[in-house]
């Protein structure tokens, strides 16, 4: 959300080749999940991934914090979680950029001009004019992204299959394993229905909390 909001604020300015930059900002979102997963899988590969090459090249006056390649998809799995999170963030932030950019363009310029005349600085204009005007879009986009994030399957499965061990396992992958790998469809269906109910309750309270926070000022 923060990355997407930042890009939206930048792309809302008058830039040279503005349409080009806006189009490029959406590229990570339109790439299929499986392609994103394999892209980051090879980037974080312990032997020839570009991430390890960059980390191994860091040298602070003779001190190298990463002298050995990191096993991103081995060991206890903590690094695998980080790798999948980076892949998901890169794939998802353009959604926020697109929605928030559309919202920014609907804010009346008169409000911003009036705040400027009243002596409001850039931060005050952002916090007291821009954010309140976008509260509806913020609630909707964060709600959708939370649901999508809790139901993440394709990126995690393509990168790690839920491993190493169960490090990157989540409820959706667990349902898939139960139903299709272990061939226990009834248990998987039950888990799916319970997960749906949990998401409904969670979404309801999340929207109530977010609406309360945005309306409080």
Cα–Cα nearest to 68, from 50, 83, 55, 81: 55
Q: What is the pLDDT of residue 77?
A: 87
Q: What is the DSSP letter of 65?
A: S
β-bridge mates for residue 60, sequence order: 63
Instruction: For the full predicted model, state whether its pTM sits above 0.95.
Output: no
pLDDT of amino acid 119: 87
Note the pLDDT tens digit of each residue in 152-193. 999 999 999 998 888 999 999 999 999 999 999 999 999 999
Strand partners, 57: none
DSSP 124-153: HHIIIIIHHHTHHHHHHHHHHHHHHHHT--
Q: Which residues pair with 63 in a beta bridge?
A: 60
Q: For Cα atoms 91, 97, 98, give the angle at the middle one, nearest 5 degrees.
A: 100
pLDDT of residue 38: 95
Contacts of 103 by beta carbon, 8 Å cutoff, 6+ apart: 133, 134, 137
Task: Give the three-class secondary structure for 75.
Answer: coil
Q: What is the per-residue pLDDT across 87-131, written as a single tens digit (0 to 9) for each?
A: 999 999 999 999 999 999 999 989 988 988 888 888 999 999 999
175-to-133, 157, 179, 198 alpha-carbon distances in Å: 40, 12, 6, 14
Provide CB contacts within 8 A for 65, sequence distance 6+: 55, 58
| Residue 216 pLDDT greater than 60, yes or no | no
Q: Are 160 and 84 in contact (CB under 8 A)?
A: yes
């Amino acid at each position: 959300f923060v990355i997407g909001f930042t890009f939206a604020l930048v792309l809302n300015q008058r830039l040279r080749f503005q349409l080009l930059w806006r189009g490029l900002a959406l590229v990570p979102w339109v790439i299929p999940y499986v392609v994103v997963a394999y892209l980051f899988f090879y980037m974080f590969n312990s032997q020839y991934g570009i991430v390890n090459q960059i980390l191994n090249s860091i040298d602070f006056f003779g001190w190298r914090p990463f002298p050995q390649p990191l096993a991103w998809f081995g060991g206890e799995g903590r690094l695998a979680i980080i790798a999948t999170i980076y892949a998901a963030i890169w794939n998802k932030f353009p959604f926020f950029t697109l929605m928030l950019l559309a919202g920014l363009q609907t804010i009346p310029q008169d409000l911003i001009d009036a705040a400027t005349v009243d002596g409001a600085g850039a931060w005050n204009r952002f916090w007291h004019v821009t954010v309140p005007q976008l509260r509806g879009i913020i609630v909707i986009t964060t709600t959708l992204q939370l649901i999508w994030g809790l139901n993440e399957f394709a990126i995690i499965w393509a990168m790690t299959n839920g491993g190493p061990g169960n490090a990157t396992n989540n409820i959706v992958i667990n349902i898939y394993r139960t139903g299709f790998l272990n061939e226990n469809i009834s248990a998987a269906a039950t888990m799916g229905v319970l997960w749906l109910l949990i998401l409904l309750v969670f979404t309801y309270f999340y929207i109530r909390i977010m609406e309360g926070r945005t309306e409080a000022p």
